Amino acid sequence: MLGRRKLYGIAIATAIILGLIVSSRYLFINTTAYGELLTVTVVGNKANAYDGGTGNANLLVQVLSGRGPVKGLKRNNFIVLTMLVPPGGARVEIQDVYEYGNGIYAISVTPQKGSTWLSGDYNGQLIVKTAASIGYSLWTIERVP
């Protein structure tokens, strides 16, 4: 009888270990659903953003993969998240995306509809997504005058 208990214990331990292996593989696959991590660099420029106005500011973006510059991205490949704004300020929205070439893009942003720029810094995150890749970067538009 003791032999059966040992075998039963070994079988249970094996099942638990296999379950952990399968679970960890499943989690690994799900967290890497996009495959390659893109390198994204962003520089903010206040351009036409003035206190009380609705003109555009720009985010100059470079997107690189392990194979080089990422070309051909469109507006729906970019997500602009606004995280910090001056008191009473609003989030920004993408108005236009222009591709300069070699993985460089200019993203024109304005305050959400019905809002204006306020004097101060705006900060957030840019997410770049393709069918097989994703990348992240922080952005700042400094001191809207």
Tens of pLDDT along the chain (145 residues) come to: 556 655 545 555 454 454 444 433 433 434 456 689 999 999 999 999 999 999 999 999 999 999 999 999 999 999 999 999 999 999 999 999 999 999 999 999 999 999 999 999 999 999 999 999 999 999 999 988 7
**28 Cβ contact list (under 8 Å, min separation 6):** none
**102 Cβ contact list (under 8 Å, min separation 6):** 69, 71
**52 and 67 share a domain?**
yes
**2 and 68 share a domain?**
no
**24 and 50 share a domain?**
no
**65 and 112 share a domain?**
yes
Q: How far apart are CA 145 and CA 139, in angstroms?
A: 18
**Domain of 130?**
36-144
Q: How far apart are CA 25 and CA 101, in angstroms?
A: 38
